Structures are given as C-alpha cells and as structure tokens.
Amino acid sequence: MEKYKILVIAELNSLGGIISGLLSKEGIEVTVVEAWDRVEKIYAELSRNNYDMVLPTNNSLTPGKILELIPEIKKKYPGIKIIVLSGCNTPKFMEELKDLDIDEFFPLPFPSVNLIQRVEAILTSPLTK
C-alpha cells in the first residue's frame, strides 16, 4: 500500500497510542495530537503535513468540538478523509455527523480489525485519489 499519513486526535497514552500502533503496523504514517479542545494544535499539525485522513476522537475532543472541527477541516483541506471515533452515539450527534458527510463513524470501543480494514478501504478507494 502507498505510504499514507493519518492525523489521530486523541490521548497518546491511551486511544491515540492504540490506534497509532494498529495503523503503523499496516505501513501507515500516524501522528497523534492531544488537543483537549484546543483546535489550534490540530490546525498547526495539519498545516505541517499533507495528511490523507483525520481521526478525531472524543478521547481528546468533546462531541460538540468534533462537530465544529469537521467543516473547518473539510473547508481548509478538501479531499481529506475523516473517520470519527466516539463513545457518543446519540441520535442527534449521529444525525449531525451524517449531515457533515464524514467517511465513517466508529463507536467506542471498536473492533481493531474493522478499523484497519475500513481505513485501508477508504484510503485506497479510487475516489480518494
């Protein structure tokens, strides 16, 4: 697989480290940012590298901040893929995510093999290029 770059927004010592380990084993370059709702850290990292995908989690962002962040990322970085991982799966949150046209939603906890397969499928889709 081509060398892809993913930005994971999560705590490095918990979910971020787990996701980074899973995806790095698949040959994907992963950077983890602990944002704690400070989106300037996310934008600074996005501006430093040409990321193919962003994985915001409620491990480092509130559900409301995730909803605010996605349209800004899509506007500044058209074509970037977004997979949200969150323990919040209320009907309102899910409907708002659907309206933002994200690529995938994974409820926490998630089966690691499913995440790897879905990330790879989205990154290698002919529509991604």
Q: Are 60 and 34 in contact (CB under 8 A)?
A: yes
Total domain count, the chain: 1
Within a domain: residue 58? Answer: yes
State the pLDDT at residue 80. Answer: 96
Within a domain: residue 27? Answer: yes
Residue 66's domain is classified under what CATH number? 3.40.50.2300
Find how far residue 129's CA is from the centre of its chain: 18
Write out the residue range of the structural domain in which residue 96 sits: 5-124
What is the pLDDT tens value at each position of the chain, 129 positions in all? 579 999 999 998 899 999 999 999 999 999 999 988 788 999 999 999 999 999 999 988 999 999 999 999 999 999 999 999 999 989 999 999 999 999 999 998 888 889 999 999 999 987 644
Within a domain: residue 129? Answer: no
Within a domain: residue 99? Answer: yes
State the pLDDT at residue 1. Answer: 52
Q: Are 23 and 1 in contact (CB under 8 A)?
A: no
Within a domain: residue 48? Answer: yes
CA dist., res. 94 & res. 107, Å (int): 10
